[in-house]
Amino acid sequence: MKKLINRFLDYATRDRKTPAQNRERVGQNLMILAIFIFFVFIINFIIIIGTDHKFGVDLSKGASNVYQQKVRVQAKRGTIYDRDGNPIAEDATTYSIYAIISKSYVSTTGQKLYVQPSQYEKVVEILNKELGIKKKEVRKQLNQKNLFQVSFGTKGSGLSYSTMTAIQTAMKDAKIEGIGFTTSPGRMYPNNIFASQFVGLAQLEESENGSKLVGKSGLESSLNDILSGTDGLVTYQKDKNGNVLLGTATTVKKAVDGKDVYTTLSEPLQTRLETQMDVFQEKAKGKFASATLVNAKTGEILATTQRPTYNPSTLDGYNKDNLQTWNTLLFQNYYEPGSTMKVMTLASAIDNGTFNANEVFDSSGIKVADTTIQDWDVNEGISTGQYMTYAQGFAHSSNVGMTSLEQKMGNDKWLNYLTKFRFGYPTRFGMVGETGGTYPSDNEVTTAMSSFGQGIGVTQVQMLRAFSAISNNGVMLEPQFISKIYDPNSKTTRTSSTEVVGKPVSSEAASKTRDYMVTVGTDPYYGTLISGGVPIIQAGNESIAVKSGTAQIAENGAYLEGNNNTLNSVVAMVPSADPDFIMYVTIQQPQNWQAIFWQDVVNPILEQALLMKDTLMTSAAVETSGQTSYKLANVIGKDPGNTAEEMRRNLVHPIIIGTGSKIAHVSKKVGSNLTEGEQVLLMTNKLTTMPDMYGWTKKNVKKFAKWSGIKIKFKGSKSGTVKKQSLDIGKNLSKTKKLTITIGE
């Protein structure tokens, strides 16, 4: 052992140096180490400065996270107003209720801050009373195990301030702790049930950037891009402890608020319509019912509603069991309209020169191919038929009379009139999800039946568009629901104007049709809308053009049987000589039905509209600094229908030419500003027949001539729009080389 120790000492002392030498070596080693560390630091410093990264970490971002806080500034969603500036839908703070049920939640002094089991029944009672939540649902939530807190579904969310405070007061009076509320941005519908399906809903939608109100249905959905703004971004500086430093806010991106939309709806008329529809539905008990009032001279929808409906503020009734369908009946459901279609049949027959008011026919039946068509009173066993004039036949709603007129016109001519009235095509009036309906099938019997409203599928908005041609002396108008759009960011607006979409019949044919419609409610023998010698539809002392209809309902290729399996409808135009208003009401499968029920919903609305006539011709004034710009996107190759809808939502007047699936030409340059009410041609990749050019500008006629290669000769005024065309609508264009167009004011 001693040897080993000696050997180790010899090895350790073999290269021994003096203390001075050792200090020199240590100094040299430290200097080399210092130089190495310095170069490592310099290299890392250069890398950090040059790349702003180290070990895959974004250093600026990391520093920003430590010393900066980014806050999203939520843009305000635009308000939806009625035509006079009364809010229909607006942003508001909403509240959601929760209950703490964990027994661990106590104060430092031992006070119980949770809802105690002995208080559950009182909570059940309060929430049932204030929110309408079923008692068993509240109990179910409160009795859950191993949870800190519970919420109460949709009925416990989106609460108004008044509802929240009412619950708070009730809980405080009952000495109940543990009830709290969270706040969130919400949408308030101050009128409650108010064109609910048409206006629709906007609800919070969660994303990685937070929650935002998004339109889910109706106007809220269709106009979502207009109503939604763009969120902004603000950064705040923080100290080393993470506290926000006051006065350090920097706007990175300014929030752009959504635009406000002024609809064409009238709050007084809409409110009255909701009340009267409840009366009407209570008596008739229809599976579905709907009613719409339109300005006959502008196409503006003044009031519209349907049943069943729901309350968008409380979501009461917003479920499939109540609504039966989520669709808006005005434009998302098509149906066979029945005898209200006879209005268009009569107008077409008069326009075609086929109708002779005093000519007599036998109403017992008419044979078309292998089918015998009979009148409603013959089918019901009330009559075996009778001889009557065609004028009397219209008042009596004779299927035989209308079929006879259709046969006199000929199938091709009648189908051409249906095309002129634009049945089979969506109106593209700006609402998303519009249904197109169905055109009569290529069948002789079906074509004949379409003359009295069977064998053809329509939407209510299509019927209203067609009725506008009758009320407006042959000039057909596009239905409208936007009065103006206001941009609060630039303080500019876009204002709507009446849009003409064709002239299917002459002024004389439309006027005479209204005259015959008057007899439906006044002829004591043949009229179908007269009871005890008194017109069912009345509005003061005004003469009213009316027509009712009762249509069978087709399901799975066959018509339903039974007295209640019908769709009943009525249209009224007042005053008949020069209508200001059109009202159209439908009810499907009423459990209890009498024609007299129409007066509960039609008469009071028409009377109020007549009293408000002067105020309904204008809309709310908004102080602005000009017109909001709207740039034309590159729409070549796009779907023409969707493009037309988008344009109408921005108050431009598109005209689709042809039946192709893609846009081949557009009359304006991409990127150009489209002014409000400007007429824009959208020519599709398939054009085979002559379009209805009524109302076109001379400039657009020339553009069409350039695209189609047809030579145009102009007659009439130097300025104005098209009043007449030498080639009829629907005629084949393949051999057309020349066309004469008459221009007028």
Using one digit for the tens of pLDDT, what is the confidence trace for 381-390?
A: 899 999 999 9
Supply the Cα-derived Rg of the chain in whole angstroms: 37
pLDDT bin (cut points 50, 70, 90) of residue 229 is: confident
Decide if 528 contacts 396 (C-beta within 8 A): yes
Tokens of 37: 């560390």
Res. 619: pLDDT tops 60: yes
Instruction: Report the percentage of the chain scoring pLDDT > 70.
Output: 90
Helix (H, G, I), strand (E, B) or coil at 575: coil
Reported as a single tens digit per residue, the pLDDT across 106-124 is 888 889 999 999 999 999 9
Determine the pLDDT at residue 21: 65
Residue 235 dihedral angles phi and psi, to the nearest 5°: -110, 145
Determine the pLDDT at residue 51: 66
User: What is the torsional sign of CA 265, 268, 274, 280?
Assistant: negative
Detail the DSSP E strand segments found in 177-297. 179-188, 202-207, 210-215, 232-237, 250-253, 260-263, 288-295
510 Cβ neighbours under 8 A, 6+ residues apart:
347, 469, 470, 471, 472, 473, 474
Name the one residue in this structure whose structure tokens are 């000492």. 9
- What is the rounded CA–CA span in Å between residue 675 and residue 685? 26
Determine the pLDDT at residue 255: 83
DSSP H helices, 359-398, are 376-379, 390-395
132 Cβ neighbours under 8 A, 6+ residues apart:
155, 314, 316
Helix (H, G, I), strand (E, B) or coil at 606: helix
pLDDT bin (cut points 50, 70, 90) of residue 38 is: confident
Q: What is the mean pLDDT of residues 170-192?
A: 91
Determine the pLDDT at residue 251: 61
CA-angle at 659, arms to 736 and 431, nearest 5° = 140
Neighbours of 137 (CB within 10 A): 16
Closest listed residue to residue 469, CA positions, set 431, 445, 500, 446: 500
- What is the rounded CA–CA span in Å between residue 201 and residue 572? 31
Select the more confidently predicted residue: 92 or 604: 604
- What is the rounded CA–CA span in Å between residue 521 and residue 527? 6
Helix-, strand-, coil-residue percentages of the chain, each rounded to 5 = 35, 25, 40
Torsion, Cα of 156, 158, 159, 161 (10° steps): 150
Helix (H, G, I), strand (E, B) or coil at 664: strand
- Environment class of residue 393 by beta-carbon count within 10 Å: exposed (0-12), middle (13-18) or buried (19+)? buried
Decide if 476 contacts 668 (C-beta within 8 A): no
Determine the pLDDT at residue 624: 83
- What is the rounded CA–CA span in Å between residue 171 and residue 165? 10
- What is the rounded CA–CA span in Å between residue 215 and residue 220? 4
- What is the rounded CA–CA span in Å between residue 502 and residue 500? 6
Q: Which of 70-74, 367-371, 408-412 has the lowest mean pLDDT?
A: 70-74
For 4, 15, 17, 616, the CA distances from 8, given in Å and listed in that order, are: 6, 13, 17, 114
Determine the pLDDT at residue 381: 87
- Amino acid at residue number 325: T
Q: Give the mean pLDDT of the chain.
A: 91
Name the one residue in this structure whose structure tokens are 């197109």. 436
743 Cβ neighbours under 8 A, 6+ residues apart:
698, 714, 715, 716, 717, 718, 719, 720, 721, 722, 723
Res. 397: pLDDT tops 70: yes
Q: What is the mean pLDDT of residues 543-567?
A: 93
Helix (H, G, I), strand (E, B) or coil at 691: coil
pLDDT bin (cut points 50, 70, 90) of residue 72 is: low
Determine the pLDDT at residue 480: 98
Closest listed residue to residue 582, CA positions, set 501, 479, 468, 473: 468
Res. 544: pLDDT tops 90: yes
Helix (H) or strand (E) holding 649: helix 640-649
pLDDT bin (cut points 50, 70, 90) of residue 230 is: confident
- What is the rounded CA–CA span in Å between residue 715 and residue 697? 13
Res. 164: pLDDT tops 60: yes
Determine the pLDDT at residue 365: 95
- What is the rounded CA–CA span in Å between residue 654 and residue 180? 52
Determine the pLDDT at residue 237: 65
Tokens of 580: 């200001």
Res. 242: pLDDT tops 60: no
Determine the pLDDT at residue 11: 58
Tokens of 9: 């000492």
pLDDT bin (cut points 50, 70, 90) of residue 426 is: very high
Determine the pLDDT at residue 685: 96
DSSP state of 57: E
- What is the rounded CA–CA span in Å between residue 263 and residue 219? 10
Determine the pLDDT at residue 12: 56
Q: What is the mean pLDDT of residues 150-176?
A: 90
For 438, 566, 586, the CA distances from 168, given in Å and listed in that order, are: 55, 50, 45
Q: Is the peptide bond before 479 cis (omega within 30 degrees of 0)?
A: no
Reported as a single tens digit per residue, the pLDDT across 311-325 is 998 889 999 999 999
Helix (H) or strand (E) holding 61: helix 59-67
Please list the active-site residues: 339
Determine the pLDDT at residue 661: 96
Determine the pLDDT at residue 39: 74
- What is the rounded CA–CA span in Å between residue 230 and residue 245? 26
Tokens of 269: 């008329």
